[in-house]
Structure 1
Amino acid sequence: MATRTTTLRSEEFSCPSCVSKIETKLKGLDGVDNAEVKFSSGRIIVDHDPAVASVRQLVDAVAAVGYTAKPSAY
């Protein structure tokens, strides 16, 4: 598996429960090795195989639990 790290940005989460929902949803996707939400900076860092879990699928997974995210340059 060719792992890549993608950073998403979201300013919508406001509590530890939000963080947990997003991390759990992303970690449940095929091709995702790890997902970590950085609450203070609004970043979501995802280690994944882009051939299995595309950036669009990551964004859609965040949307499925009620939050908006978009790819970040850092």
Structure 2
Amino acid sequence: MIKAVFQLEPFTCPSCISKIESSLSKKAGVESVKVNFNLGKIKMQFDEGKTCAGSIKETLNRLGYMVLSSKVSKVKE
């Protein structure tokens, strides 16, 4: 399992939260997604055998959000 934090450019509206959470939750292997509107961050966990940080960044870009930085680490089991 992978834990990741993505820092995005500032959101323009609170509806961005549901748009991002809904889209990312549908991706295979995604366990959890939590968007912090005020900080412009997404915290999530996903199965590295089913998706990767690069694919998540591509999804965010397709949705119209630019990823400024990301921090990805393996969850200790």
How many Å separate the matches in 1 of 2:42 and 2:23? 12
Residues 1-74 of structure 1 mapped to structure 2, 5 A cutoff: 3-69=1-67, 70-72=69-71
- Cross-structure match for 2:75: none
Instruction: Calculate the TM-score normalised by the size of structure 1.
Output: 0.85
How many Å separate the matches in 1 of 2:49 and 2:31? 13
Give structure 1 stretches of 5+ with no counterpart. Answer: none
Contact 1:12 1:68 in 2 (8 A): no
Q: How many equivalent residue pairs? A: 71
- Report the aligned-residue RMSD: 1.4
Shift of 1:7: 0.4
Instruction: Calculate the TM-score normalised by the size of structure 2.
Output: 0.82
Normalized per residue, the structure richer in strand is 2
The superposition leaves residues 19-43 of structure 1 with CA deviations (integer Å, 9 ceiling, x where unpaired) of: 1111111101000011111111111
One-letter amino acid of the counterpart of residue 22, structure 1: I
How many Å separate the matches in 2 of 1:26 and 1:54? 12
How many Å separate the matches in 1 of 2:71 and 2:2? 14
